[in-house]
Structure 1
Amino acid sequence: MASRARLDDAAVAAVARYGFGLAGRPRLPEAEEYEDAQGVLVATTEGGDLAVVELPRWRSPGAVRDQLGGTSPAAWVGTPPDDHAALPDRVLALLPAAGLSADSGSLAAQAAAWQRTGRDVVVVHVPVTPGAPEVPAEELAAAYGARLIGSRVEGSGARTGGRVVFCTGLSGAGKSTVAARLVELLVEDGRTVTLLDGDEVRTHLSAGLGFSKQDRDTNVRRIGWVAAQIAKHGGIAVCAPIAPYADVRADVRREVEAQAGPGSFVLVHVATSLADCEARDRKGLYARARAGEIPQFTGISDPYETPTDAEVTVETAGRSVDECARQVLAALS
């Protein structure tokens, strides 16, 4: 049986660049066959040569040239210029998409922006990285049979306008209460908001998960994924899980910003002290954790990794819920 290696999206994009003649052979793990994240065979090695088999996401320059009927249209790389009047009647829009998911809201926003120009636009996603293109814009346009007239590439794609407000803190810190008041303030301002509260998500989206570290991480990632989908379509998601681990919070940030663009993720640390959380422990959870009845309880027998990258730190001591929520609201403007 041939040895097979699974490639991540970045490696598949590198294979595409090689297969399209845009770049040299990429460094890959040793194998005879390579598949993408969905298990589709994308390349093989025969006699040391790398042969591209199929690239489901990427359209080859040859296929694009065939679509254009052998003409040499004007090409623009990235988001359209502000002055649409300067654009010709027909444009080949080449959107750098390596590193972004196929259903990325950033890419959808860019495509929509091109449609609003009123031109006859052919949109093609190309396997180069936004903000750090592996191929110069002029060479990229030439490979697709077009002449370059301009480019404007943003580091992580276009913003969708959606936001994710991700409140983290100890159990009993007041995350849910602050989040609920923030939602009220946003609704009063005419915004469409979805609240993803930790306890409610546990009941529905994450029913069946336990409280092991793996299950807790899965719960937080599920919240992040749903929130990213909301932000991708321009909505606001307010989340209130404990989310004690920095690496998982960072994963959620990357997912959200890949879908909704840079700046779409706002981490809010509800920084209530452990002593205050225990003092207001209406459910008696801390007392049970101290007695050893609840294993792996955050702040007692399991760590809470205090955020060092929070956009907003809310000190709740001596402050009303409304004051805390309005502090977060001010950071969103």
Structure 2
Amino acid sequence: MPARSRLGDAQVAAVARYHFGLADAAPELPPAEEYEDAQGVLVATSDGEDLTIAEVPRWEAPAEVAADLRERGWEFPAAWFGAPPADVSGLPSRVLALLPAAGLPPDSAALARRAAAWGAVRATGREVAVLPVPVTPEAPEVPAADLAAAYGAELLGGDLGGGPLATGGRVVFCTGLSGAGKSTIAARLVELLVEEGRTVTLLDGDEVRHHLSAGLGFSRADRNTNVLRIGWVAAQIAKHGGTAVCAPIAPYADVRAHVRREVERQAGPGSFVLVHVATSLAECEARDRKGLYARARRGEIPAFTGISDPYEAPVDAEVTVETSGRSVDECARQVLDAVLGR
């Protein structure tokens, strides 16, 4: 059994639910003797059968919250689950706001926005205690009424389904063969998005390699690392409501899927738009301005995508762009319409 395992945000939240009596059974965790969170804090230990909790950073124990509210004079606390209602006139003078946050990092922009909405309620003269709680937004593991009761409050109402948290940010991830036109279409797309009033960052494959991934080679592992770095930066941009347009080759489906998961974890469902620039290999070779395909055909460039290394064409692309016989502007506007939902 491994000595130590690092848990993700959702797993630490599951440990918290068990520790707080919000779950009947211990969560299923990978075999290990010790479990730590993302910051390296020891969360729990295991002897192979029983789980012993050390501490659960970030989450406040329900009993301690209830005791604190009583000390503050909240004799009959009312709780609201999720974001505040559009009409706050029916809220009492004191509200315990329970924000589902399991699986979200502490600096989640979506969670911060929901908390900020309660700040506007405070401006009406109400006293609001905002409390992140260890249940997931999309499908809370504990009924909202039971959750409120655990924290010593009675549920007044709320978004009882939780609802996915989204930042409004987007990652437009263009993939395709070398010479397919990804960078050209991406650059034009950025111009169109700026015209729409969007804040946009372009993460072009060649430029990222020069600045962010200097020192990496072109082995499969290095290429994957380069794409994952692009994805991580893009996710951070989308997390804070911005739009990132990326244009790597990204030939492998599993790595693209990993980037999609990371972006949607940070910025919410629907924040990742995969664009397949589906220019044929024959047309890419005919363009071959850099002479790369010719060199690959001569065996001078090993593991060249489309020649001596595979390109796994997406089956999950939100947009497939056929470039043959079409202008760059036409292609970019097709992607723009998909990004803006038109």
TM bin, normalised by shorter chain, reads over 0.9
Residue 127 in 1 paired to residue 139 in 2? no
Aligned to 1:69: 70
- The Cα offsets for residues 68-116 of structure 1, whole Å up to 9 and x where unpaired, read as 2342321112222222222222221111222222222221221122222
Residue 171 in 1 paired to residue 178 in 2? yes
Q: What is the one-letter code of the residue matched to 2:115?
A: A
Q: Secondary structure of the equivalent of 1:69?
A: helix
Instruction: Give unmatched runs, 5+ long, in structure 1.
Output: none
Change (3 A) 1:156 1:13: same
CA distance in 1, matches of 2:30, 2:277: 43
Residues 107 and 157 of structure 1 are in contact (CA less than 8 Å); yes or no, is this contact kept in structure 2?
A: no
CA distance in 2, matches of 1:220, 1:89: 50
TM-score by length of 1: 0.93
Q: Secondary structure of the equivalent of 2:157?
A: strand
- CA RMSD of superposed structures (Å): 2.1
- Give the CA deviation at 1:6: 3.3
CA distance in 1, matches of 2:160, 2:276: 32
Residues 252 and 311 of structure 2 are in contact (CA less than 8 Å); yes or no, is this contact kept in structure 1?
A: yes
- Give the CA deviation at 1:208: 1.2
Query: Between Structure 1 and Structure 2, how many residues are aligned?
Result: 333
Residues 156 and 261 of structure 1 are in contact (CA less than 8 Å); yes or no, is this contact kept in structure 2?
A: no
- The Cα offsets for residues 222-247 of structure 1, whole Å up to 9 and x where unpaired, read as 11111111111111111111111111
Matches within 5 A, 1:230-241: 230-241=237-248
Aligned to 1:207: 214
Of residues 62, 84, 93, the one that matches 1:80 is 84
Aligned to 2:8: 8
Matches within 5 A, 1:96-175: 96-118=100-122, 119-152=126-159, 157-175=164-182
CA distance in 1, matches of 2:203, 2:49: 51
CA distance in 1, matches of 2:301, 2:22: 57
- The Cα offsets for residues 39-82 of structure 1, whole Å up to 9 and x where unpaired, read as 21111347954331111121211332243234232111222222
Of residues 329, 337, 341, the one that matches 1:322 is 329
Aligned to 1:263: 270
Change (3 A) 1:281 1:103: same
CA distance in 2, matches of 1:9, 1:261: 15
- Give the CA deviation at 1:198: 0.6
Aligned to 1:245: 252
Aligned to 1:89: 93
Percent identity for Structure 1 against Structure 2:
76
TM-score by length of 2: 0.91
CA distance in 2, matches of 1:31, 1:181: 50
CA distance in 2, matches of 1:34, 1:330: 46
Moved over 6 A (4+): none
Instruction: Give unmatched runs, 5+ long, in structure 2.
Output: none
